[in-house]
Structure 1
Amino acid sequence: MIRINLLPFRKARKKENVRQQVSIFILVLIFLTLGMSYFALSLNRKIQSLDDHIKISKQQLSELTVLTKEIDDIKKKLDVIKKKTTIIKNLEQDRKSSVILLDTMTNMVIPGRMWFTSLSAASDSVEIYGLALDNKTVADFMIRLEGSKLFSSVNLKTLKQQAIKDIGLKNFEISCRKVVRLEEKTSEKAVKK
Structure 2
Amino acid sequence: MIKINLLGEAKPISTTGLKWLVGGTLGLTVLIVGAVSFCLSLKSQIEDLKPEVASLKLELAKLQSKTKQVKKLEKKKEELNEKIAIIAKLKRSKIGPVRLLDDINMALPKQAWLKKINEKSELMKISGYALDNQTVSRFMVKLSKSKYVNPDMVDLVQSKVADYKGVKLNDFVLQLQVFYAGRKEEEKSGEEAVESKKEKKKKK
Question: TM-score scaled to structure 1, two decimals?
Answer: 0.52
- In structure 1, the partner of 2:187 is 185
- In structure 2, the partner of 1:130 is 127
Shift of 1:147: 4.9
Counterparts of 1:155 and 1:54, CA distance in 2: 75
What letter is aligned with 2:124?
Answer: E
What letter is aligned with 2:76?
Answer: K
- In structure 2, the partner of 1:75 is 74
Whether the aligned pair in 1 keeps the contact of 2:144 and 2:154 (CA below 8 Å) is: no
Counterparts of 1:155 and 1:68, CA distance in 2: 55
- What is the correspondence of 1:81-92 to structure 2 with a 5 Å cutoff? 81-92=80-91
Q: Pairwise CA RMSD of aligned residues?
A: 4.5
Q: Which of the residues 146, 160, 171 maps onto 2:141?
A: 146
Change (3 A) 1:85 1:101: same
TM-superposition CA deviations, 1:143-169 (whole Å, max 9, x none): 133256614664321246789999998
More helix by share: 1
Change (3 A) 1:184 1:92: farther
TM-superposition CA deviations, 1:46-65 (whole Å, max 9, x none): 32220111112112212211
- In structure 2, the partner of 1:109 is 108
Is there any run of 5+ residues in structure 1 with no aligned partner, and where?
1-32
Shift of 1:98: 3.8
- In structure 2, the partner of 1:64 is 63
Which protein, 1 or 2, shows the higher relative CO under an 8 Å CA cutoff with sep ≥ 6? 2
- In structure 2, the partner of 1:120 is 119
Change (3 A) 1:73 1:47: same
TM-superposition CA deviations, 1:74-111 (whole Å, max 9, x none): 11121222233334444445555544322111123356
Whether the aligned pair in 2 keeps the contact of 1:162 and 1:169 (CA below 8 Å) is: yes
Change (3 A) 1:58 1:188: farther
